[in-house]
């Protein structure tokens, strides 16, 4: 004759629960008497991993009284916390020498929002863009509504204003910031908010605004250096006549033994690319020049528009051609080979 030991069992419904970060949900723990078990069962629980601001649980009630052949239940409330991830919940029931457990899974889903670039430069009436990227975290899926908040003197628009995320996927929106006012030069912040249900996350773009309309730094080399520029084969000149204005100008290096002025490149990349449609002029002053010299307006697609710098006998203002339908990333002056003729450069404007 077989003897059946008295015991109890635990089960959970559901066994897996998905919650958005910052929300809560519940599991129902069912206790079943077996083999005539009767008595009190005390419940406790753990969550792993145990992380700051991660998921947590509460159990109510924590003590269940089971009659022989009977059942009981308790609610386990799961608080998702704010850290997306997969959590393991273990509920343990103890009665005397008997210990039984049930394991559940909690998936906390969320989304992230980021900007690239996070800093742009603008002058009055100009626009620049930043790409806003939404990322699914731990299986989040759904629509995310986007909004932008800009300080006085700026407008900020998003296209599109709603993006759809699939589990594990990403989506993007283009943030366009335009300087419309007469605010003073300084650093300003545009905030983008993404919202879906109870979830809300923000990212910020820093705007360096300059009154005067020139997006180039150190445009006349008045630092006495090539600060903000990259160059090969060039020097800073401070001797009389080598500058259009101020104290300094730029010129190719000279080799007195060969009497050759060096081939060179001189380039400045903008801190953030700007729409060509927002630019009214790209200019520089130069003197001398040869058929080997040109100025190039650089675009984000890797192409450029070139304007030649032929010989002139005195300081001359040149308007560099550019494509207003493209996005401008910088400016470059090139001498393709060593020449017997000098070239003086000064007072660049991109604005």
At residue 63 the predicted structure's pLDDT band, cuts being 50, 70 and 90, is very high
| Cβ atoms of residues 229 and 218 within 8 Å | yes
- Mean pLDDT computed over 186-213: 91
Q: Which residues contact 297 (CB under 8 A, 6 or more apart)?
A: 282, 304, 305, 307, 320, 321, 322, 323, 328, 331
pLDDT score of 4: 57
**Separation of alpha carbons 304 and 203, rounded Å:** 32
Q: Provide CATH 2.60.120.260 ranges for the chain.
A: 230-350
Q: Provide CATH 2.60.40.2310 ranges for the chain.
A: 7-109, 117-210
Candidate CATH numbers 1.10.3720.10, 3.20.20.70, 3.50.50.60, 2.60.40.2310; the one for domain 7-109: 2.60.40.2310
- Mean pLDDT computed over 136-144: 96
Q: Which residues contact 2 (CB under 8 A, 6 or more apart)?
A: none
Segment among 27-31, 67-71, 213-217 with least mean pLDDT:
213-217
- Indicate yes or no: pTM above 0.85: no
pLDDT score of 212: 65
pLDDT score of 321: 97
Segment among 12-21, 33-42, 209-218 with least mean pLDDT:
209-218
pLDDT tens for each residue of 272-321: 888 888 888 999 999 999 999 999 999 999 999 999 999 999 999 999 99
- Mean pLDDT computed over 236-247: 92
Instruction: Please check whether the domain covering 117-210 is classified as CATH 3.60.70.12.
Output: no
Residue (of 110, 129, 112) closest to 120 by Cα position: 129
pLDDT score of 122: 82
Q: Which CATH code fits 230-350? A: 2.60.120.260
């Amino acid at each position: 004759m077989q003897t059946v030991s008295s015991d109890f069992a635990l089960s959970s419904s559901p066994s897996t629960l998905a919650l958005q970060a910052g929300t809560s949900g519940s599991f129902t723990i069912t206790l079943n008497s077996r083999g005539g078990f009767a008595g009190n069962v005390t419940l406790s629980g753990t969550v792993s991993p145990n992380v700051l601001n991660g998921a947590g649980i509460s159990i109510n009630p924590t003590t269940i009284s089971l009659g022989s052949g009977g059942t009981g239940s308790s609610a386990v409330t799961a608080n998702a916390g704010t850290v997306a991830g997969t959590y393991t919940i273990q509920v343990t029931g103890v009665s005397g020498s008997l210990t039984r457990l049930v394991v559940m899974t909690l998936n906390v889903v969320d989304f992230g929002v980021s900007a690239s670039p996070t800093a742009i430069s603008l002058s009055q009436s100009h626009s620049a863009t930043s790409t806003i990227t939404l990322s699914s975290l731990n299986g989040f899926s759904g629509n995310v509504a986007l909004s932008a908040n800009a300080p006085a003197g700026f407008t900020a628009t998003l296209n599109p204003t709603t993006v759809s995320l699939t589990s594990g996927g990403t989506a993007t929106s283009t943030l366009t910031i335009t300087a419309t006012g007469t605010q003073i030069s300084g650093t300003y912040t545009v905030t983008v908010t993404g919202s879906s249900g109870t979830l809300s996350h923000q990212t910020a773009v820093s705007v360096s605004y300059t009154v005067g309309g020139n997006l180039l730094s150190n445009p006349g080399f008045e630092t006495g250096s090539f600060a903000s520029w990259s160059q090969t084969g060039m020097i800073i000149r401070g001797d009389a006549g080598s500058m259009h204005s101020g104290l300094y100008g730029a010129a190719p290096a000279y080799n007195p033994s060969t009497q050759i002025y060096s081939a060179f490149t001189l380039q400045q990349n903008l801190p953030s690319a700007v729409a060509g449609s927002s630019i009214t002029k790209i200019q520089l002053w130069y003197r001398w020049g040869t058929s080997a010299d040109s100025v190039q307006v650089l675009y984000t697609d890797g192409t450029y528009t070139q304007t030649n710098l032929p010989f002139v006998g005195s300081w001359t203002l040149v308007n560099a051609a550019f494509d207003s339908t493209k996005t401008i990333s910088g400016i470059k002056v090139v001498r393709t080979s060593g020449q017997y003729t000098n070239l003086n450069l000064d007072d660049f404007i991109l604005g």
